[in-house]
Amino acid sequence: MNMQSSAVKATKDSTLELLQRRTQVPGQPNTLLVVMFLLMTIGLLMMTSASVEIANGQYNDPFFYFKRQLFFSVLTAVIVVITLTIPVRAWYSISLPLLLLSFALLALVLVPGVGRVVNGSARWIDLGFYNLQPSELAKIFIVVYLAAYLERHRFSVVETWVGFIKPMVILAGAIVLLHFEPDHGAMVILIGTTFSMIFLAGAKLHRFALVLMLCVSAVAALAVMKPYVLDRFSSFLNPWAAEYVYGEGYQLTQALIAFGRGGWFGEGLGNSIQKLHFLPEAHTDFVLAIVAEEFGFVGVSVVVGLFITLVAQAFKIGKRVELSGNLFPAYLAYGIAMLFACQTLINVGVNIGLLPTKGLTLPFLSYGGNSLLISGFMVAVLVRIDYEYVQNLLKSSVQTVAGSGKRGVR
């Protein structure tokens, strides 16, 4: 009997050891945190390089933006640590309040005297010490709610039009509010993310046809109602034209000059010329152009490679969790992956002239506390999802091995 118990114990220990090696996919949670740390470090370095001259001219302090971004980087680390301690299911339980909060903030920013208007867009709420951007919060809060909805109503979403249309109504409400800011970049990201989440939940492709037709019609109507949209599109097609090169196409042409100067290996850290008041918003929306000018194609490839790794890991986590039958965290992981993917693709596309100019930051790299804090929060949620998956798998396997041991002893 003792020999049999020892054998069962040895089998149990070896099984657990093997399980730990297999379930903890090499560096899975650590990969996400390492990628985030690398992107934040690169971002702090390149944002500082891109903003030194601007900060010196505006505030007589070349490191003004660096100090603020460093503060938000530290705050992001605190938020990451706190988020890692929160069970994923807690976000499910408050998904509806988060949705209502996101709509309230999107509406509040439109109230005269509350919303802060910059360059004709009311996208911020001035809190005195901090400019809150509701659209950044709304994107992740809506994704949390959609993940909860898709878990509760997956059959209805897949099999009926009613279940399919309900999340589209929520999306439509957010689009209307974002349109009046206006923040068309956030609109595109939300549309892409929502469609992707519903598709990954199993919705049939033909159901998207009608919605896509409505979206195309809305974009056409928007272009007719707002002439500057047509101007941006026309300048995007030919930014070097005489009528655009010093107008709508100016940012793009200056960004392309930065890419051209960078070549394969760049001009070296700090040696960008375009950041010397030639390229507007060099430390925010067009920081990638400064990366290209100072570190060339190789530097841009490293940055893009890190984002690809981040998005791939997020999808991998979502797939593993979905196969385990836990749908809410799986859809949440898919949604976060799409938020990162869409925002990165649009920002990179704008910088290299493949997409019309949009005021969208590059996560972790561009200057701005809102984007940095929310991006760090999303990575922490992904790490927590994967951690809980591994722990649940280990717990289930321990119970299975323990049960087998008891039967063996009998």
Residue pLDDT, tens place only, 39-69: 999 999 999 999 999 998 888 889 999 999 9
Q: Rounded CA gap, 214 and 76, in Å?
A: 38
Buried b (16+ CB within 10 A) or exposed e, 34-43: ebbebbbebb
Q: Which pLDDT does position 9 carry in this prediction?
A: 52
Region 360-389: what's the mean pLDDT? 93
349 exposure class (CB count in 10 Å sphere: 0-12, 13-18, 19+)? middle
What sign results for the dihedral spanned by CA atoms 202, 204, 207, 209? positive
Q: Does residue 222 or residue 253 have the better pLDDT?
A: 253
Give the contacts of 32 (CB within 8 A, at least 6 positions apart).
310, 313, 314, 379, 382, 383, 386
Q: Does residue 248 or residue 81 have the better pLDDT?
A: 81
Most distant CA pair in the chain, distance: 91
pLDDT at 121 over 50: yes
Backbone angles phi, psi at 92, to 5 degrees: -60, -45
Buried b (16+ CB within 10 A) or exposed e, 250-283: bbbbbbbbbbebbeeebbeeeebebbeeebebbb
Q: Does residue 322 or residue 409 have the better pLDDT?
A: 322
Task: Decide: helix, strand or coil at residue 132.
Answer: strand
Where are the alpha helices (H) located in 238-368, listed in sequence order? Answer: 250-262, 287-323, 327-351
216 exposure class (CB count in 10 Å sphere: 0-12, 13-18, 19+)? exposed
Contact 29, 387 (CB under 8 A): yes
CA distances from 322 to 65, 281, 316, 330 (A): 41, 40, 10, 5
Strand pairing partners for 117?
122
Domain range annotation of the chain: 39-85+248-403, 91-225
Q: Does residue 290 or residue 229 have the better pLDDT?
A: 290
The pLDDT confidence band at residue 228, using thresholds 50, 70 and 90, is low
Is the backbone of residue 358 left (phi > 0), alpha (psi -120 to 50) or beta? beta
Query: Quick count: other Cβ atoms within 10 Å of Cβ 200?
Result: 19
The pLDDT confidence band at residue 24, using thresholds 50, 70 and 90, is very low
What sign results for the dihedral spanned by CA atoms 229, 234, 239, 245? negative
Backbone angles phi, psi at 331, to 5 degrees: -65, -35
Contact 318, 331 (CB under 8 A): yes
CA distances from 69 to 31, 72, 164 (A): 23, 5, 41
Tokens of 379: 């990575």
Q: Does residue 401 or residue 185 have the better pLDDT?
A: 185
Q: Share the mean pLDDT of the chain.
A: 84
Q: Which pLDDT does position 223 carry in this prediction?
A: 64
First to last CA, the chain: 9
Q: Rounded CA gap, 147 and 322, in Å?
A: 12
